[in-house]
Structure 1
Amino acid sequence: MTDWPKVFTPDTPLLEIVVRGSVIYLTLFFLLRVLLKRESGTTGVTDLLVIVLIADAAQNGMAADYTSITDGLVLVTVIIGWSYLLDALAYRWPAAARLIHPRPLLLVRDGRILRRNMRRELVTEEELYGQLRQQGIDDVAAVREVRMESDGQFSVIPASGDAPHNKRDRRRAV
């Protein structure tokens, strides 16, 4: 027989759940933002982080790792709350936006590779040339700028002054 009061009564103090969820979210956010910026692809880091943490938190609540549904719901709420709060901070304050959503990093300027910036994000020349080839450019000299965006994508502006090329623009054109 199911003990319904136990199902809805938290077995972990709610403040502990809020603190644990906050520490985990903010630590993972920092690590993903600093270490894995270019690995995130088209999914934003915060999107990926929220999906993973919500899935784990919800799984624990559903699989009775918590004996209370309330524990799982509070943790999911904390995770979504941090995601929303960070996005709201970035929207309202430019200083927070620079920390939460870093500016694009210039990798090529006027056909010259900026090796220091490439080292900073561990981008190899082979990866850079691969990105250029994907966008129909076979020579770095034909490029005015290449930037690695905050989501890890590369934006390319040809030296000819044509419109910027990036994967998102090509998808829209199709």
Structure 2
Amino acid sequence: MDWSEMFFQSWSGIIRTLIVGTMAYAFLVFSLRLSGNRTLAKLNAFDLVITVAFGSTLASILLSESVALAEGITALVLLIALQWAVATASVRSSWFARAVRSEPTLLARRGEALPGAMRRARVTREELDTVVRTEGWRSLADVDAVVLESDGSFSVVSDGHRQMAPLARERTEG
């Protein structure tokens, strides 16, 4: 192994990365603006996959000399078209929407964990408690609901009848 190649191979590679990278990035930004905000919304697992695929494709265009700019742009256009097609089909067909999207899952209600829902969502009690504490509550008993959203995030809900979150109370009193 030639150790010098680990740090520098050629100026042509650097120049290619600068030119192709700038063009690919500009094309991606233009395409995403053209396709609308929904393309990068992280509303469900499919949206997350598309976002990661954009990053991976852009990295391949930038760093792989075997991927020509035209091929990379074609891949980006394909991803945007697929995202648009899936989003459009989801809006028009409830069957298709159910097939590609997960529904939010209620994991706790009125301060009580729902073991069946937690088991199906593969969430442990310790993880549920961590989510509640992360949102500023002392315990699950202090909240009205915990929901695992379709994008994988958690929502902790309180209708205000339970005690105010300790962190929120400190912010309003301070």
> Offset of 1:108 from its aligned partner?
0.8
Partner of 2:79: 79
- What's the secondary structure of 1:54's corresponding residue? helix
Partner of 2:66: 65
- Whole-Å separation in 1 of the counterparts to 2:110 and 2:79: 43
> Offset of 1:147 from its aligned partner?
0.9
Deviation string, structure 1 residues 10-56 (Cα, Å, up to 9, x no partner) = xxxxxxxxxxxxxxxxxxxxxxxxxxxxxxxx955444423332343
Rg comparison, structure with higher value: 2
- Matching of residues 29-44 of structure 1 within 5 Å: 43-44=42-43
TM value normalised by structure 1: 0.56
Question: What is the identity percentage for the equivalent residue pairs of Structure 1 and Structure 2?
Answer: 28
- What's the secondary structure of 2:150's corresponding residue? coil
- Whole-Å separation in 1 of the counterparts to 2:136 and 2:52: 35
Which residue type is aligned with residue 64 of structure 1?
E
Distance 1:55 1:158, change over 3 A: closer
**Does the Cα contact within 8 Å between 1:142 and 1:160 map onto a contact in 2?**
no
Larger RCO: Structure 1 or Structure 2 (Cα < 8 Å, ≥ 6 residues apart)? Answer: 1
- What's the secondary structure of 2:71's corresponding residue? helix
**Aligned-residue CA RMSD in angstroms?**
2.8
- What's the secondary structure of 2:141's corresponding residue? helix
Deviation string, structure 1 residues 103-159 (Cα, Å, up to 9, x no partner) = 110101232211122122221111111111122322323333211001112122226
> Offset of 1:69 from its aligned partner?
3.5
Q: How many residues align?
A: 121
- Whole-Å separation in 1 of the counterparts to 2:55 and 2:66: 13
Distance 1:52 1:65, change over 3 A: farther
Which residue type is aligned with residue 119 of structure 2?
R
**Does the Cα contact within 8 Å between 2:46 and 2:101 map onto a contact in 1?**
no
- What's the secondary structure of 1:74's corresponding residue? helix
- What's the secondary structure of 2:49's corresponding residue? helix
Partner of 1:100: 100
Which residue type is aligned with residue 148 of structure 2?
M
Partner of 1:152: 152
Distance 1:152 1:64, change over 3 A: same
Which residue type is aligned with residue 75 of structure 1?
A
Query: Which structure: greater helix fraction?
Result: 2
Distance 1:117 1:73, change over 3 A: same
- Whole-Å separation in 2 of the counterparts to 1:117 and 1:52: 28
Check if 1:126 corresponds to 2:126: yes
**Tell me, which stretches of 5 or more residues in structure 2 are unaligned?**
1-40, 166-174
**Tell me, which stretches of 5 or more residues in structure 1 are unaligned?**
1-41, 166-174
- What's the secondary structure of 2:118's corresponding residue? helix
